[in-house]
Amino acid sequence: MKRIAILGSTGSIGRSALSVVEAHADKLEVVALAAGANVALAAEQVKRFRPRCVAMGSAHSLGQVLRAAGDARVAAAGAGKEGLLAVATHPDVEILLCASSGTAALEAVLAAIEAGKTIALANKEVLVMAGSLMTEAARRCGVSILPVDSKHNALHQCLHARPASEVKRLVLTASGGPFRGRSAEGLRGVKPEDALRHPTWKMGRKITIDSATLMNKGLEVIEARWLFDVAARAIDVVIHPQSVVHSMVELLDGSILAQLGVTDMRLPIQYAFSYPERWESPLPPLDLTRCGRLDFHVPDHRNFPCLGLAYRALEGQGGLPVVLNAANEVAVEAFLEGRLRFTAIPELIERAMDGHHPTAVTSLDAVRRLDGWARAYSNDLARSLESRI
Ligand SMILES: NC(=O)c1ccc[n+]([C@@H]2O[C@H](COP(=O)([O-])OP(=O)(O)OC[C@H]3O[C@@H](n4cnc5c(N)ncnc54)[C@H](OP(=O)(O)O)[C@@H]3O)[C@@H](O)[C@H]2O)c1
């Protein structure tokens, strides 16, 4: 049995992960769960999967879950960051799936690495913020960080421990989101409900907006840089509206290896859990005869500047990715609350990056300090841009 802990068990990835556990109950066991505020679902999960401990975003929610779980006899791991840390480093945990949204799990993931846990990483924000610290700690502790994000999972499958000297470039595919092909004018008036309608994937709200602005692909470029230790110039993005090819690797001789599959996150989650083995999947296989055409286009950098901003952050000095990530979170929240135009999202991020004086971020404290500054600065920018709505 592989013993699993999940941060963010009530979210889109967390629920899919539990469905993978159910499909492979003879191989996977849930040891610890952490969620934010969804008490009803967390309590249901505790009753069903009987983890040894549970954590919630607040002490109040945790108390409610424990009461609702009744005779499930689950221990309280804690609330807030303390709870995430306790779940991530629980002595019985072998694999930690980090599927919480935002950046709250940063310290918990780093502590899990130090404790020797294998990391199945869905949350890209923690790697964008602290990629160097995470990968250095993983190398030092001999810990694997296995990508759950479907694109990086695809790259991991194609690379298959191939020497770096044989690899020319990584090619991340992007669906292009719901606004692919729109002009700048056509993007100005889009509403949160339009942006939340993703054409091919069902995901949480924040990542769905990131997909609409192409920031999701930008974050993925940064994630790929750290996961696979490649320079930004060796990572390309192509728009592939059908989302059948999940990503590709070009080798020195020009051969391109691709991973194809159904658009269901249970597949990459299962692969991260089963790795290095492969298990049968209960999902219907991809029927190539029904896929139709497969298109590949160059991204529209002019109308979707977020992707270019991510490359700039990666190539720049100091903590620019931290600023990019914080500014993006502030901008997306303001957009979802109807306080900011869709087209103001990249504008806010760019201004926050322009306002940053390069500083070295060589510790978690430095990352958190810069993140705090970037959020405060971005909130001020959001207020100044709000007046244009
Ligand atoms: N969804 C996808 O297909 C997909 C694909 C690739 C990568 N990812 C990445 O995976 C992560 C999760 O995405 P998602 O779509 O699953 O998000 P989601 O549906 O919004 O779920 C977020 C989860 O995180 C929990 N959470 C949020 N803040 C928390 C905190 N402070 N402490 C503990 N738990 C907290 C939420 O709990 P409550 O709901 O209980 O509040 C929920 O369980 C993101 O980083 C995303 O970029 C997602």
User: Which regions of the chain does DSSP assign to beta strands (E)?
Assistant: 2-7, 28-34, 53-56, 75-79, 95-98, 118-121, 145-147, 167-174, 235-239, 245-251, 256-260
Distance 18 CA to ligand 1 centre (A): 14
Q: Are strands 167-174 and 245-251 parallel, antiparallel or unpaired?
A: antiparallel
What pLDDT sits at residue 202?
81
What pLDDT sits at residue 64?
97
Q: pLDDT for 332-346, tens place per residue? A: 999 999 999 999 999
Distance 44 CA to ligand 1 centre (A): 18
Residue 124 Cα distances to 10, 98, 108, angstroms: 18, 9, 14
Q: Do the beta carbons of residue 246 and residue 261 sit within 8 Å?
A: yes
Nearest CA to ligand 1 atom 2: 203
What pLDDT sits at residue 280?
96
Nearest residue to 19 via CA among 212, 217, 229, 264: 264
CB-count exposure of residue 133 (10 Å: 0-12, 13-18, 19+)? buried
Name the strand (E) or helix (H) holding 134: helix 125-141
What pLDDT sits at residue 191?
94
What pLDDT sits at residue 388?
67
Residue of 121, 207, 215, 221 to test ligand 1 pocket, by largest number of atoms within 8 Å of CB:
207
Name the strand (E) or helix (H) holding 205: helix 205-213
From first CA to last CA, the distance across the chain in angstroms is 54
Q: Do the beta carbons of residue 313 and residue 324 sit within 8 Å?
A: yes
Q: Do the beta carbons of residue 128 and residue 321 sit within 8 Å?
A: yes
pTM for the structure as a whole: 0.96
Nearest residue to 307 via CA among 210, 213, 218, 235: 218
Nearest CA to ligand 1 atom 29: 36
Nearest CA to ligand 1 atom 3: 203
Backbone angle region of 11, left / alpha / beta, with phi > 0 → left and psi within -120 to 50 → alpha? beta
Distance 251 CA to ligand 1 centre (A): 34
What pLDDT sits at residue 384?
94
What pLDDT sits at residue 73?
84
Q: Which atom of ligand 1 is nearest to the CA of 16?
A: 16
In which residue ranges of the chain is pLDDT below 70?
387-389
What DSSP character marks residue 88? H
Q: SS3 for 186?
A: helix
Q: Which atom of ligand 1 is nearest to the CA of 205?
A: 20
Q: Which atom of ligand 1 is nearest to the CA of 10?
A: 43
Ligand 1 binding pocket, CB closer than 6 Å? 8-14, 34-38, 57, 84, 99-102, 104, 122-125, 149, 201, 203-205, 207, 265
Residue of 56, 203, 222 to test ligand 1 pocket, by largest number of atoms within 8 Å of CB:
203
User: 13 Cβ partners below 8 Å, 6+ apart?
Assistant: 97, 99, 122, 148, 204, 265, 269
C-alpha to C-alpha distance for 300 and 174, rounded to whole angstroms: 12
Residue 106 Cα distances to 193, 213, 237, angstroms: 30, 24, 27
User: 221 Cβ partners below 8 Å, 6+ apart?
Assistant: 172, 232, 235, 237, 307, 310, 311, 314
Measured N-to-C along each axis, helices 106-114 and 364-386 cross at an angle, to the nearest 10 degrees, of 160
Distance 7 CA to ligand 1 centre (A): 8
Residue of 7, 12, 124 to test ligand 1 pocket, by largest number of atoms within 8 Å of CB:
12
